[in-house]
């Protein structure tokens, strides 16, 4: 529940945060990281529902076609499933690698969806570099996010006891 | 015993009635002990000064902290006043603009930006309860901002004209050439479908044409920043920079004119 609320708060403030930081590229994709964390600690069903719910929420707030982000975050969930066959989601290195690959898959999927369904979709030259920066930034921050989520879980358990 | 000896010496000297000067032995003793006394006096003075300075330092530190807090508080107050001044200026501009347009309008505050970065939309704090409807145009003192694409009871989503799904029918203010301004999801928009024979130059102001019954006629959309005649193309390649600064969008005006459904429009016609 806490992760759900955190993710929603992140989505609500992300636009303003990106404006504050100055670029979208330096804002890590926390939703993907959180989906991977939930997949590791709360199971596949929880992760799938999280991806679906957060995707719907982003769709509600975004000016894009309805369903595009739901599909994207479901592809993120699929990507995590696929990549966790090749990398260890328990190790920090594996976490970073999986999240990087999954975000790459997400961008490829996004590109394909827009090219297929939106005739007016225009990708500027910076799309590739922005995407790669987000992949890198999110990958590098993933182990830290996992650590913080663990501490958050500890605090929650402590408060409950 | 010692006490009695001391008492006797005191009584003898008291009885003489005058203060006797130091004798040679007394002088010798004084000469030997005085430097130590002097040293002790200096040391105690130093300790005293150190002690006093220490307390003074504590006071200075406290005073420094107090002054810093006061400066911070004044800075905050100043920033608040500046913010109020800037807000006042914005609202004044908006009010002047509101008076200049004939339609009834409603001011709304931008409360959220598109979280994806790929699309350009904002969430405003007015919804159905305040009379906001789909496709209402959203403007500010600088020009056209966008149109309402989703609405709930208290909030609405506005698609900005810089979004790639947005298109606004426009006119070049000087030459009355027509074109359609489309967003690229960047700071620059394209003005499409302007014929090659059309007179368009860098610096020309682009305004809304009023067609499509969404945006009122004559509102600024942007300024031409680049015009190219690409060989083999039917139309000019024109870049325009929107007049609205979308990165500083805080307060907007909704033009409270409901768009007629297309079936009713046909009936009227």
Per-residue pLDDT of B100-156, as tens digits, reads: 766 788 888 888 888 877 788 888 888 888 888 888 889 888 889 999 988 888 888
Structure tokens at A99: 């999240």
Residue B266 has pLDDT above 70, yes or no: no
List all residues 6 or more positions away from A133 whose beta carbon is below 8 Å from its beta carbon: A25, A26
Residue ranges of the domains in chain A? 27-160
Domain shared by B119 and B219, yes or no: yes
Block residue for tokens 């496709």? B135
Residue B201 lies in a domain: yes
Q: Do residue B203 and residue B89 come from a single domain? A: no
Report yes or no on B264 lying in a domain.
no
Contacting residues for B110 by C-beta, under 8 A, at least 6 apart: B122, B123, B124, B249, B250, B251, B252
Q: pLDDT: is A72 or B47 the higher one? A: A72
Residue B149 at interface with chain A, using a CB cutoff of 8 Å: yes
Domain that holds residue B82: 24-100
Residue scoring higher pLDDT (B97 or B71): B71
E strand residue ranges, chain B: 105-113, 121-124, 137-140, 143-151, 156-160, 167-172, 178-182, 189-192, 205-208, 220-228, 237-242, 251-255
- Is the CB of residue B121 less than 8 Å away from at least one CB of chain A? yes
Query: Picking from A68-77, A122-131, B184-193, which range would have the lowest pLDDT averaged per residue?
Result: A122-131
**Residue B55 sits in the same domain as residue B156:** no
CA B166 from centroid of its chain's CA atoms: 29
Nearest CA-CA partner of A6 in A15, A138, A97, A14? A14
Same domain? For B213 and B226 the reply is yes
Q: How far apart are CA B156 and CA B253, in angstroms?
A: 13
Q: Is the Cβ pair A120, B182 closer than 8 Å? A: yes
B86 with B125, same domain: the answer is no
- State yes or no: pLDDT of B264 exceeds 50: no
> Chain B residues with CB inside 8 Å of A69's CB?
116
Question: Which tokens sit at B25?
Answer: 């032995």
pLDDT digits (tens, 9 = 90+) for B29-84: 677 766 777 777 778 778 877 777 777 777 787 788 888 888 888 888 887 888 78
Task: Give B227 to chain A, closest Cα distance, Å.
Answer: 19
User: Among partner residues B116, B160, B247, which is closest to A62 by beta-carbon distance?
Assistant: B116
């Amino acid at each position: 529940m806490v992760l759900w609320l955190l993710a929603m708060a992140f989505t609500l403030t992300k636009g303003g945060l990106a404006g504050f930081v100055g670029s979208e590229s330096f804002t890590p994709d926390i939703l993907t990281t959180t989906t991977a964390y939930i997949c590791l600690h709360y199971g596949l069903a929880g992760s799938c529902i999280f991806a679906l719910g957060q995707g719907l929420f982003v769709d509600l707030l975004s000016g894009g076609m309805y369903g595009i982000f739901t599909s994207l975050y479901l592809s993120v969930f699929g990507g995590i499933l696929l990549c966790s066959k090749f990398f260890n989601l328990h190790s920090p290195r594996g976490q970073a690698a999986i999240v990087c690959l999954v975000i790459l898959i997400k961008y490829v999927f996004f590109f394909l969806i827009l090219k297929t369904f939106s005739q007016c979709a225009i990708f500027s030259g910076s799309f590739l570099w922005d995407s790669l920066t987000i992949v890198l930034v999110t990958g590098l921050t993933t182990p830290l996010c996992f650590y913080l989520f663990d501490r958050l879980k500890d605090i929650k358990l402590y408060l409950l006891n | 015993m010692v006490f009695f000896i001391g008492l006797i010496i005191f009584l003898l000297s008291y009885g003489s009635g005058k203060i006797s000067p130091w004798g040679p032995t007394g002088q010798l003793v004084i000469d030997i002990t005085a430097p130590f006394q002097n040293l002790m006096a200096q040391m105690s003075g130093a300790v005293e000064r150190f002690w006093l300075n220490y307390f003074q330092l504590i006071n200075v530190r406290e005073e420094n902290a107090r002054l810093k807090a006061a400066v911070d508080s004044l800075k905050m107050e100043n920033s608040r006043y500046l913010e109020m001044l800037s807000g006042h200026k914005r609202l004044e501009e908006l009010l002047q603009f509101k008076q200049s347009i004939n339609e009834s309008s409603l001011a709304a505050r931008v409360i959220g930006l598109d979280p994806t970065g790929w699309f350009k939309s904002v969430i405003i704090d007015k919804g159905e309860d305040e009379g906001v409807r789909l496709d209402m145009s959203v403007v500010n003192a600088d020009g056209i901002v966008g149109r309402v694409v989703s609405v709930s009871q208290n909030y609405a989503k506005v698609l900005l004209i810089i979004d790639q799904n947005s298109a606004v029918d426009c006119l070049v203010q000087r030459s009355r050439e027509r074109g359609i301004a489309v967003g690229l999801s960047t700071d620059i928009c394209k003005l499409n479908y302007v014929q090659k024979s059309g007179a368009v130059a860098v610096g020309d102001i682009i305004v809304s044409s009023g067609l499509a019954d969404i945006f009122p006629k004559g509102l600024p959309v942007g300024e031409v920043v680049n015009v190219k005649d690409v060989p083999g193309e039917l139309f000019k390649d024109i870049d325009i920079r929107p007049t609205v600064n979308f990165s500083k969008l805080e307060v907007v005006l909704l033009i409270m004119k409901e768009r007629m459904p297309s079936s009713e429009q046909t009936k009227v016609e």
